[in-house]
Structure 1
Amino acid sequence: MRRKLIATVAAAALTLALAACSGDASPLPGSTAQPAPETSTSAPAADTSCNARASLRPSGALPEPGRMPAGSYMATIQKRGRLILGTSQDTLLFSSRNPFNGQVEGFDVDMGRQLAQAIFGDPNKLQIKVIGYDKRVSSVRDGDIDVVADTMTANCSRWKDVNFSTIYYEAGQKVLVSKDSSAKKIEDLGGKKVCSAAGSTSYLNIQAVSTKPIAVAKPAFGDCLVAFQQNEVDAISTDDTILAGMAAQDPYAKVVGEKFTEEPYGMALSQNYPEFTRFVNAVLEKNRANGTWTATYNKWLGSFGTAPKPPAAQYR
């Protein structure tokens, strides 16, 4: 009964969050994302043909806000009057909708605001578009948005379609189960239904586990949480940061095991404008050095403990 009650509350909260979407002028995550098949006999081999953490080196000093170089993509954004950020609305602490004011907020959103500050001198010149997890690459490639900051793992496969910034957060995949579960790691869930978001690396990682958990795809992680609370799936597996936000919403859930993957988060950017990637990396470099990154961590993730050192930049 307690699990069913929580599921009802969670479903209602999700409905309220989606109803508040009109201000984003973008499709809801569930309206376009198509779930992958619930089962698969194999997962694609990891592509390790590059150093996915290495990005384009900044070139010179950052221009003053409001004075972007002529002909650059930053000048295009400046002329438009806003930076368009693609992100989710259901990843608590990173990018989730505040139920009181309807705004999408979190660590990832602040990464976008810091770019807007660098371009305009105003962090509020930011337009947020909510996108599905499986639209993060295509939205950048097709020019619908300027940058994705959405708990997105930089990997070699994605580098073929988009550029990534230097790494701005280090995460790793774990598992969320009910508090009465005896599972202590992902391998203990062989034959059990484990949910993750369609189009995420987490979904592929579940498929690769030797004991063969049954990977279940949902359009977004909020849908996974509702499915878990309604007993449609036995567990959820994704980045530890995302799971921590879910556990905070469900007192009958727990996160178990050690990280079994490395998930370095980068911001996705178009390959057509390498100068913009270099600009973003210069902003990140400045914010690592001046304490902005640490302040952002403490603001959103301070409950996890003392802020670690920001991920060191690597360049190609």
Structure 2
Amino acid sequence: MTRRRRLATTALAAGVIGVIVGGCSTPPEPSVQPPTDTYTAPPVPAGARVVPSLPAPPPLECGDPTASLRPFPSGESPTGPTLDAIRARGKLIVGLDTGSNLMSFRDPSTGTINGFDVDIAREIARDLLGSPNLEFRILSYAQREQALSDNQVDIVAKTMSITCERRERIDFSSVYYEAHQRTLVTAGSPIQSVADLAGHRVCVGEGTTPAEQVWRHQPGAEVVSVPLWSDCLVMLQQHQVDAINADDTLLAGLATQDPYTRIIGPSLGTEYYGIGIGKGNDDLVRFVNGTLERIRRDGTWETIYDRWLSELGPSPGPPPATYLD
């Protein structure tokens, strides 16, 4: 073998040995570069604010706040200044919102506004005008009473609970639905009832009644209010609040939009929904109550419930009316 070939063979063998030895050795640790990405907290929905925990004033007493004016006599053709103005206009102006799934929401596939409250308003318009001609005005919860006082809308059909305080400023129809205040949390949350909310943030709708119920049952909770219930769901998904307290009608709608949520705990109280009507519009109050009587009797109420609120279980039946006169 020539000297050149011996050198080449020696070098090749050394390389093979080096590969074998190297394969048995521990590879060097990879070079870890410090992360350069930065993260910011997701924005809070516009209008969200922490509600100061102040002692609630003693509730007003007004007898039975759900008692309303009796409908016009059966077979009579009702008239009155408010009814005549609506008929002359040819449409019923309804205040509601489009963020309360199941009760009043915009269908993304059609763009139409639908829901339990919307169907109730359609029945009122059908009786008054002969067809369900509606014009919708989108209101936040805090705007409902002012819109009626300023005659911006004829009625408000927006999960509006009848209370003595509100009766000081507006009128109501008879009760058309009885809701129950409950709590919504994310699946896997350790919160099992309102008693577990101490030290946790709870979202409620601005201008609604659930905040008082939360503090009544758990004074240690921190309450955050937002203009729309859909904002509460966003904050829950972004871990900016730990729970949502609202009527079961609204929570069921939020739960259908996020399968990783669940409704917990017993009812914190009953909410009696009424159609909001401007103060002194007695003819409209009586007419609306006539429509509500009709849909209780002819099965329309049950049909509307089955269409929108079957998520809550079998129909409880329409609530009976109580009248002042």
Amino acid paired to 1:87 = L
Q: Is the 8 A contact 1:194 1:214 kept in 2?
A: yes
Once residues 262 and 37 of structure 1 are traced to their aligned partners in structure 2, the CA distance between those partners, rounded to angstroms, is 25
Q: Look at both structures and tell me which one has the larger radius of gyration over its CA atoms.
A: 2
Q: Is the 8 A contact 2:50 2:222 kept in 1?
A: no
SS in structure 1 of the partner of residue 244 of structure 2: strand
Task: Give the structure 2 partner of residue 289 of structure 1.
Answer: 297
SS in structure 2 of the partner of residue 208 of structure 1: helix
Alignment equivalent of 1:44, drawn from 47, 57, 60: 57
SS in structure 2 of the partner of residue 258 of structure 1: coil
Instruction: Give CA-to-partner distance per residue, 1:165-187, whole Å, 9 cap, x none.
Output: 00000001000011111222112
Once residues 203 and 98 of structure 1 are traced to their aligned partners in structure 2, the CA distance between those partners, rounded to angstroms, is 29
Once residues 125 and 49 of structure 2 are traced to their aligned partners in structure 1, the CA distance between those partners, rounded to angstroms, is 34
Task: Give the structure 1 partner of residue 69 of structure 2.
Answer: 56
SS in structure 2 of the partner of residue 311 of structure 1: coil
Once residues 74 and 120 of structure 1 are traced to their aligned partners in structure 2, the CA distance between those partners, rounded to angstroms, is 10
Amino acid paired to 1:109 = V
1:136 aligns with 2:144: yes
Normalised by the length of structure 2, the TM-score is 0.82
Deviation at 1:100, TM superposition (A): 1.1
SS in structure 2 of the partner of residue 54 of structure 1: coil
Deviation at 1:271, TM superposition (A): 1.5
Deviation at 1:36, TM superposition (A): 5.7
Q: Is the 8 A contact 1:62 1:283 kept in 2?
A: no
Instruction: Write the mapping of 1:73-112 to structure 2, written as runs, cut at 5 A.
Output: 73-112=82-121
Alignment equivalent of 1:300, drawn from 308, 317, 323: 308
Task: Give the RMSD, CA atoms, in angstroms.
Answer: 1.9
SS in structure 2 of the partner of residue 44 of structure 1: coil
Q: Is the 8 A contact 1:41 1:207 kept in 2?
A: no
Once residues 203 and 63 of structure 1 are traced to their aligned partners in structure 2, the CA distance between those partners, rounded to angstroms, is 43
Instruction: Write the mapping of 1:176-187 to structure 2, written as runs, cut at 5 A.
Output: 176-187=184-195
Q: Is the 8 A contact 1:82 1:116 kept in 2?
A: yes
- The gaps in structure 2 that reach 5 residues or longer are 1-41
Amino acid paired to 2:69 = L
Amino acid paired to 1:187 = A
CA change 1:303–1:174 in 2 (3 A) is: closer
Alignment equivalent of 1:115, drawn from 124, 128, 134: 124
Identical pairs, percent = 37
CA change 1:234–1:210 in 2 (3 A) is: closer
Runs of 4+, deviation exceeding 6 Å: none
Instruction: Give CA-to-partner distance per residue, 1:216-243, whole Å, 9 cap, x none.
Output: 0111111111011001001100001111
Instruction: Give CA-to-partner distance per residue, 1:276-299, whole Å, 9 cap, x none.
Output: 101110110111011111111111
Amino acid paired to 1:174 = R
Normalised by the length of structure 1, the TM-score is 0.85
Instruction: Write the mapping of 1:25-40 to structure 2, written as runs, cut at 5 A.
Output: 37-40=50-53
Size of the aligned set, in residue pairs, is 282
Once residues 75 and 94 of structure 2 are traced to their aligned partners in structure 1, the CA distance between those partners, rounded to angstroms, is 20
Instruction: Give CA-to-partner distance per residue, 1:76-104, whole Å, 9 cap, x none.
Output: 10101110000011111100111111111
Instruction: Give CA-to-partner distance per residue, 1:103-139, whole Å, 9 cap, x none.
Output: 111000011101110111101x100111000011111
Amino acid paired to 2:71 = P
SS in structure 2 of the partner of residue 195 of structure 1: strand
Amino acid paired to 1:314 = T
SS in structure 2 of the partner of residue 276 of structure 1: helix
Deviation at 1:42, TM superposition (A): 2.5
- The gaps in structure 1 that reach 5 residues or longer are 1-7, 15-29
Once residues 203 and 75 of structure 2 are traced to their aligned partners in structure 1, the CA distance between those partners, rounded to angstroms, is 42
Deviation at 1:35, TM superposition (A): 5.2
Once residues 201 and 41 of structure 1 are traced to their aligned partners in structure 2, the CA distance between those partners, rounded to angstroms, is 14
